[in-house]
Structure 1
Amino acid sequence: MKKIYILTFISSILFSCTSNPEDKWRGKWNFDSYKVEDISQLYSYYNISKSGEIDQYLMPLIGVDYLMVEDGNANNLSGLNYSSGKFTADDKYLKINNKKVYEIIDYRKNSVKLKPLMLEFNQDDNPLNDIILTFVSDDLYNTTELDYTQPQYNKWRKIPTDKEEPQTIIDRLTQQVEYARIYFEKESKLHNKVKTIGVELPFQFYRNGIVLEEYDPMQKWTNYFYDFDDQQLAYTYLLHAFKQVNSEQIKTDNILEYDRLLLKNMETYLKSVKVNIPK
């Protein structure tokens, strides 16, 4: 009996030595909430006096973020920053491509608290200013199909550093609509609901269909275009695409299927657009 105990003990040591500590991060972690110790610091930073306005500034930066870890790689969306590459982790930091992305504040099996190191408020020396994000494990998510965390669906997130040609703007918009469609299909299949803020276009989803909101420069999706003129051009074509496909007959009684087809038709229409506006 003693030999059995010894063998068991030895095997457990060997397992702990060979087990990858990063395996505990495997899967998808969804943004759940944020916390800041001294909210007055952020109010002061933004020169805000009225309570409740801070979300207007934080949510476009935070959004519905995720961390997807699989086979030693990670796809991470944190505010406006999307990163993808080799994933490593220790007791203090999560790294993607050997760059620190999060500081680990607290880890539990189904929820983690992380300090996003990319946010400008988190780069000073005052811990009271730190924004801490809580992520929860999504056991339903898998990468067998419609994996919107993958780089091919997130190419449009590379924010331009200069004016873009009209066709480039429409192509970026088309990729955004494709992402919205993939996001919608995946989330509705898994959870039978869609978090509107995760679809980075001015859409609102209701029980009887999709509504396209009026243009608002505070909307997160506009941040991926260089300036106001580029945003206006993108919205003009988005509105035209919405009206174009919304006038078509989509014959289905399933509202989720209706929404999926509408987004798919918008994507198809925008892919057919060829723009050549003289300067």
Structure 2
Amino acid sequence: MDWEGKWNFKSYKAHDIQALYQHFKIRKSGEIDEFMLHLVGADYVFLNEGKAYSLSGMHYQSGDYVIQDDFIWINGQKAFQIIEGNPDRIILKPLGFIFNQDDTTANDVFLTYEKDHQYTTFELDYTAPKYNTWRNQSKDKEKRQDIINRLKQQVEYSRIYFEKESKLHQMVKTIGVELPFLFYNNGVVVEKFHPAQKWLKYYQNYEDQTFAYNMLLHAFKQSTYEIIEADDILAYNSIIFNRMQDYLETLNVSIPSEEE
């Protein structure tokens, strides 16, 4: 079986969903996703040339993988049991999930991934570590210039993601993806500010979030100020992202007095 490629998270299943609710102290069934996807789910798992990349909620991880018998090993640790595998779908049992570590199978959780047969590696590969460095949040309070640098990396990721997905699909979907943009058939817009947006979670407080958003919005307005001449929507949006990156590169933000 060809394991290499991009596998998109499709769903999860538990033998005893009520036991999961009790474990996470869930009161409403709809709340389970908030806990499950951050713990054992992922927007995608990407396997290529012995490297494994995964995006789960806000967490991007990479490492070496080996498939032996019915298990996937990540960085020398047995990470998943392969329950079912075929060219289009794999079902995995996450072994690192504490809830699974018992003597019975009644509470096991299973994850289903579907193969994206259109996705192949080449220069525009947004799953690559070099395009995901902005996910490494600093433990210390960030300076304004640090926020600008992170924002530049996020815009670059957005450009790569858009250009890659546009070559694969007729419509670019951002559900579950940490982008501050909405894509339409005739252009792209910046989402309205809301602290709950995934991409803002990397900034440590409301003040930093609003600063990042205002810088992003200003960069977007600057990029669309002049007339854009393009043959199609792909080229149009690519010009916007490139202009935004160029504008953010010119910014040199001073440190507020309270941070000095």
Query: Would the TM-score normalized by the shorter structure come out above 0.5?
Result: yes
> What RMSD, in angstroms, separates the aligned Cα atoms of the two structures?
2.9
CA displacement at 1:40 relative to structure 2: 4.5
**Is it true that 1:266 corresponds to 2:229 in the alignment?**
no
Give the equivalent residue in structure 2 for 1:223: 201
Distance in 1 (CA, whole Å) between partners of 2:21 and 2:109 is: 13
- Which is further off, 148-157 or 248-257? 248-257
Give the equivalent residue in structure 2 for 1:86: 64
- Which is further off, 203-212 or 100-109? 100-109
**Is it true that 1:214 corresponds to 2:165 in the alignment?**
no
Q: 1:225-266 CA distances to partner (integer Å, 9 max, x unpaired)?
A: 223332222112112112221323212252222222222222
Give the equivalent residue in structure 2 for 1:157: 135
CA displacement at 1:83 relative to structure 2: 2.2
| Structure number with higher helix proportion | 1
CA 1:253–1:110: 2 relative to 1, 3 Å: same
One-letter identity of the residue aligned with 1:213: E
Report sequence identity in percent: 49
Q: Is the 8 A contact 1:121 1:129 kept in 2?
A: no
Give the equivalent residue in structure 2 for 1:69: 48
- Residue 153 of structure 2: which of 151, 154, 175 is its match? 175
CA displacement at 1:153 relative to structure 2: 0.6
CA displacement at 1:46 relative to structure 2: 6.3
Distance in 2 (CA, whole Å) between partners of 1:117 and 1:272 is: 47
Q: 1:76-103 CA distances to partner (integer Å, 9 max, x unpaired)?
A: 3233322223221223432232234434
One-letter identity of the residue aligned with 1:138: D
CA 1:189–1:270: 2 relative to 1, 3 Å: same
One-letter identity of the residue aligned with 1:136: E
Q: Is the 8 A contact 1:64 1:197 kept in 2?
A: no
Give the equivalent residue in structure 1 for 2:180: 202
How many residues in Structure 1 have an aligned counterpart in Structure 2? 255
- Residue 109 of structure 1: which of 63, 87, 107 is its match? 87
Distance in 1 (CA, whole Å) between partners of 2:173 and 2:43 is: 8
> Which blocks of at least 5 consecutive residues in structure 2 are unaligned?
none
One-letter identity of the residue aligned with 2:62: S
- Residue 95 of structure 1: which of 66, 73, 80 is its match? 73
Q: Is the 8 A contact 2:4 2:46 kept in 1?
A: no
One-letter identity of the residue aligned with 2:144: P
TM-score (norm 2): 0.82
**Is it true that 1:34 corresponds to 2:12 in the alignment?**
yes
> Which blocks of at least 5 consecutive residues in structure 1 are unaligned?
1-22
CA displacement at 1:216 relative to structure 2: 2.1
CA displacement at 1:58 relative to structure 2: 5.5
Q: The residue matched to 2:65 in structure 1 has which SS? A: strand
Q: Is the 8 A contact 1:60 1:218 kept in 2?
A: no
Q: Is the 8 A contact 1:183 1:199 kept in 2?
A: no
Give the equivalent residue in structure 1 for 2:118: 140
CA 1:60–1:98: 2 relative to 1, 3 Å: closer
CA displacement at 1:31 relative to structure 2: 2.1
Distance in 2 (CA, whole Å) between partners of 1:232 and 1:116 is: 37
CA 1:244–1:24: 2 relative to 1, 3 Å: same
CA displacement at 1:47 relative to structure 2: 5.9
